[in-house]
Amino acid sequence: MLKGKTAIVTGSTSGIGLGIARALAGAGARVMLNGLGDPAEIEALRAGMARSAGVEVGFQEADMRHSEEIALLVSQTARRWGSVDILVNNAGIQHVAPLEDFPEARWDDILAVNLSSAFHAMRHALPLMRRNNWGRIINIASAHGLVASAHKAAYVAAKHGIVGLTKVVALETAQTGITCNAICPGWVLTPLVQKQIDALAAQEGLSPQAAKQRLLLEKQPSGEFATPEEIGALAVFLCSPAANQMRGANLSVDGGWTAQ
């Protein structure tokens, strides 16, 4: 379905971003990966994805805190493959602390990576999409883009911002072939979430399994994690003709979290 299309997925060397990148490549898109990690492991990941999907896969290590590096990510992708058709703003970081103890530097970094990076990426990608009158922008928000939790001030603020930004871009592109939507996952077992499980286990003296269940059942009525593969399948659907009139939507994949 996506043969001939070019996708950028930020934060795609693990977790949700990797699941989305694999799904888009599986649907025939060329994919530019981006993220952190060991260079040799990333190269093995890139080469394996290209082999299994039979598409070109690249990697660009832009730091999502810096607008000039994001501009380079978009321009280099367009130079290499001629266009940027699909942009998935997924990169994210987290820090947990009461607001009065929240380090200023961590606030700045989380807002930069989780919110401002999406603004910069969309600003550079939209003119390329307008040129072809076709594009798909998918912003990975969170259940925390719709509701809040204590001790996550920066993350909640950034994800609420992503939901609002998605709506603005959807309205500004409403009469074009470009759509912009947000996916709002609940708990997905990613390295970021695993760190929170480990922290809870250490703090409460729980086993890893008990900490995992505590975290899940506190918020997610299904008692099950969503998977990166499920998020990837939804991203592919949003790129399909069936989603042509889905604009500014916030799609929850949260096991009932925000239904409560």
Residues designated as active site: 155
SS3 13: coil
Among positive and negative, which fits the CA dihedral 1, 120, 112, 249?
Answer: negative
Bridge partners, 250 (sequence order): 182
Helix (H, G, I), strand (E, B), or coil: what is residue 185? strand
- Per the DSSP assignment, residues forming a β-bridge with 57 are 31
Residues 237, 16: Cα–Cα separation, whole Å: 16
Angle, CA 10 vertex, CA 8 and CA 16 arms, to 5°: 110
- Of 108, 143, 162, which is closest to residue 222 (Cα–Cα)? 143
Beta strands in the chain (DSSP E): 6-9, 30-33, 57-59, 86-89, 135-140, 178-185, 250-253
According to DSSP, residue 177 is labeled: S
Find residue 59's DSSP bridge partners.
33
Q: Which residues contact 36 (CB under 8 A, 6 or more apart)?
A: 13, 61
Q: What is the DSSP letter of 147?
A: S
